[in-house]
Structure 1
């Protein structure tokens, strides 16, 4: 058995597969953060800003997940807890931007919103495909998959908002979608934090 039992070899192989997948999705999300953030600034879109921050949070999350892949259950739970806190922070940042836009209203460029949301959708669909087989591996990979699934909903929401802005000529759809993304991020943060806390209690 080349110096290891079947179970040990199986676990090592699983960790290597997880690590390889995380490297790929980390690279994709890091690139998409800069791409979508540029689009958000150029197009003056709060929804796109939320999308870009989500990608940044995911990139940080995947980096932490790489650290946790070969660690024990307690470390994985603590990393998941921190990831939940990052998601919660992103929600707060977008909420602050929404509050600013309510005081200083503006109309985003719907063409930019539509184009960059489709770019994000393509990238995040690839990430979701790569992470699908790992979604039930452990709390670490489950929380990673949760982040990727949220991204798909975010991209679709921004695309719909772009269509509404195009038809109405108003920026309210951009803010409504951004508000919806805040709720989605908040709900995801609570779920990840709750799962991590349950793992910690179980380990204790």
Structure 2
């Protein structure tokens, strides 16, 4: 046995990357702020897509906080945190889909398209800023990749919200808003599955590496 996990084992803590932590802190602040803004606006104007996007902001804020807490830790902790984030994203997607279904059954009035469009453009600008900040960190382990996937999904979702506002304005119907909420839900579910799959692969590979190293 070659000294446990010393020397050659891949499951070792990493040096804390200061630029990574700084990017996460900025993204965490921006996402938490936009959750409060978009959630309030979504409820006040009766928009399912704004509420769906706000839930995504909340999930991202939690995800960035988790990423900060495991930054520099061993691979098994980073991969485990990524799995938790993927599960959170998956569950949030299911909730958004259920909320969109509820609005199909109970909503009789379309949301206000001007308010939807204004808030959508604001949060799009914020998410593009986050995407630029996190661009250089888009590759790496499941933990870092999960942060990039969240940022990417947010930007796509914000464009969709603006399009939904245009659709509501043109049709005077709530259906474009509900359809975009469903799309955002599917993005969340898909992104969550991707993150969980990669984190499980990393956890499995890490266990295999440790076992091989211990048995040397």
Q: Shorter-chain TM-score: what band?
A: over 0.9
Higher helix share: 1
2:52 equivalent in structure 1: 50
How does 1:182-201 map onto structure 2 within 5 Å? 182-201=185-204
Q: How far did residue 138 of structure 1 move?
A: 2.5
Give the stretch that moved more between structures: 129-138 or 51-60. Answer: 129-138
- Work out the CA distance in 2 between the residues paired with 1:189 and 1:100: 23
Q: TM-score, normalised by structure 1?
A: 0.92
Gaps in structure 2 of 5+ consecutive residues: 1-13, 208-216
1:57-68 → structure 2 map (5 Å cutoff): 57-68=59-70
Distance 1:156 1:184 in 2: 13
Deviation at 1:136, TM superposition (A): 1.1
* Residue 186 of structure 1: how far off its partner (Å): 0.8
Deviation by residue 1:102-157 (Cα, 9 ceiling, x = unmatched) = 11123111111101111110000000000000111322111101100000010000
Write the deviation string for residues 73-94 of structure 1: whole angstroms up to 9, x where unpaired. 1100000000001101111211
Aligned to 1:24: 26
2:73 maps to which residue? 71
Paired residue total: 193
Which of these two proteins has the greater Rg computed from alpha carbons? 2
The aligned residue for residue 96 of structure 1 is 98
2:9 equivalent in structure 1: none
**Per-residue deviation, residues 45-98 of structure 1 (Å, max 9, x unmatched):** 000001000000000000000011110111000000000011011112111211
Consecutive unaligned residues of structure 1, counting only runs of 5 or more, are 1-10
Whether the 8 Å contact between 2:93 and 2:186 is mirrored in structure 1 is: yes
Deviation at 1:16, TM superposition (A): 1.4
Please give the secondary structure, in 1, of the residue aligned with 2:72: coil
What's the C-alpha RMSD, in Å, of the aligned pairs? Answer: 1.0
